[in-house]
Amino acid sequence: MLSRVAENLYWMARYLERGENTARLINTTTKLLLDLPRGASFGWDVLLKVAGLDSEFHKNYDEANESNIMRFLIEDPRNPSSIMACTRLARENTRSFREVLPNEMWERINSLYLYVKQNAPRAVSGRGQRYQVLNTIIEGRQSIVGLLFGSMSHDLAYQFLKLGRNLERADMTTRILDVNSAILTPGGDVLPESIQERLWMSVLTTLSAYQMYRRHVGVHIQPDKVVSYMLINQDFPRTVLHCLGELEGCLAALPHNTTPMRTVRRAWRRTAGMKVAGLTPVVLHEYLDQIQTDLAAIHDRVAEQYFYLHHHNDAQTQTATNQ
């Protein structure tokens, strides 16, 4: 497998995952806002904080209102993480390795791209159509994952796709959990408990985890239990620990995996050991920061090990690093 192709596969999976997560995040937030009382100290700009796109947004827009933020997150080409940009990048990446993917994969991703291109403006313009459009996008992306799962042999290409997907997913889970520290700034007004519960419920909904949480943890939404569930439960596919376990499995199937594997295992141990009971927003934020740092380190080690050759041209260094 070519280094360049491995890297493109990895990023394609990340872009697809990111696009879907953004769509989920917007859908849940749109619903949440309908339920909140007037004057709750929470606005659309929290979405920018979650996505880590705060400063990028303000470079391009004056006012953080709903329509600007929706445009930025859904269809703005200047935002490399917008749903449109992610889908386009995923499609462009797919074009560069059609030969390693099942034939239908290209058609699916191309259809998804054409759909986003045609319908993104509808999702921006009003809440009415937004839900339906974003849901179709989520479905489109899930049909792609299903196709890969059902018709691709578990070769190297598959492992790189899976690496990208799980790394992006773990990252997004920490960002979505962090939404509350963006709202409940230390020293600021503490929100009434009922609203807090709503917020945590929306966290679970965004992660498609609400139903599973109720079945496996309990009917009551308790902040520390939600956090604990989303960080260290090993069975639900969007928890940090589950994703780290998946990363470990991918690396086990790849050659020369010593260094990246060590980084994954360290992150796993650190996350598993986090004490969640009686958690304050400040500590939660630090925990999440730590996980994000660990995820970034995993990315770096993977890139150094497998994508390195693609970025270098000297034959001798190459031979040396690959002994």
Partner 1 sequence: MIEINEQEYGANIAFDELLDENRQPRPAARALFNYLNALPPGELESRREAVEAAILTMGITFTVYSEGTNIDRAWPFDIVPRTIAKNEWLRIEEGLKQRLTALNLFINDLYNEQKIVKDGVFPLEVLAGSKNFRTQCKGITPRFGVWAHICGTDLVRDKDGVVYVLEDNLRVPSGVSYMLGNREVMKRLFPEIFQASLILPVDDYPTQLYDTLAALSPRETSWPVIAVLTPGIFNSAYFEHSYLAQQMGAYLVEGSDLIVDKDNCVYMKTVTGLTRVDVIYRRIDDDFLDPEAFRSDSALGVPGLMRAWREGNVGIANAPGSGVADDKVVYTYVPQIIQYYLNQEPILANVPSYLCMFEDQREYVLANLDKLVVKPANESGGYGMLIGPRATPEERDQFAALIRENPRNYMAQPTLDISTAPTLAGNQLVPRHLDLRPFVLQSDRLFVTTGGLTRVAMKAGSLVVNSSQGGGSKDTWIVDTEE
Six token digits for residue 34: 């309908």
DSSP string, 33-59: HHHSPTT-S--THHHHHHHT-HHHHHH
Contacts of 78 (CB under 8 A, 6+ apart): 60
Give the range of 4-12, 68-76, 125-133, 279-287 binding partner 1 by CB under 8 A: 4-12
Using CB under 8 A as the criterion, what x/- string covers residues 139-168 for binding partner 1?
-----------------x---x--------
Q: Is 97 in the site for partner 1 (CB under 8 A)?
A: yes
Six token digits for residue 261: 């594997």
Q: Is 1 in the site for partner 1 (CB under 8 A)?
A: yes
Angle subtended by helix axes 156-177 and 223-232, to nearest 10? 170
Min. distance of Cβ 310 from partner 1 in angstroms?
A: 6
Give the range of 30-38, 59-67, 230-238, 311-319 binding partner 1 by CB under 8 A: 311-319
Number of residues that bind partner 1 (CB under 8 A): 32
| Among residues 78, 98, 262, 275, the one that binds partner 1 under rule CB under 8 A | 98
Q: Nearest CA to 14 among 134, 141, 102, 124?
A: 141
Beta carbon nearer to partner 1, 39 or 255: 255
| Among residues 96, 136, 196, 290, the one that binds partner 1 under rule CB under 8 A | 96
Q: Length of the chain in residues, anyone?
A: 323
Six token digits for residue 189: 């007004």
Q: Is 114 in the site for partner 1 (CB under 8 A)?
A: yes
Q: Is 6 in the site for partner 1 (CB under 8 A)?
A: yes
Q: Is 103 in the site for partner 1 (CB under 8 A)?
A: yes
Q: Is 111 in the site for partner 1 (CB under 8 A)?
A: yes
Q: Nearest CA to 243 among 272, 223, 215, 222?
A: 272
Six token digits for residue 122: 């509808």
The CA distance from 13 to 19, in Å, is 10
Q: Is 41 in the site for partner 1 (CB under 8 A)?
A: no
Residue 276, CA distances (Å) to 109, 111, 251, 272, 312 in order: 40, 43, 29, 10, 44
Beta carbon nearer to partner 1, 107 or 286: 107
> Which residues contact partner 1 (rule: CB under 8 A)?
1-6, 92, 95-99, 103, 106-107, 110-111, 114, 156, 160, 254-256, 306-307, 309-310, 313, 315, 318-319, 322
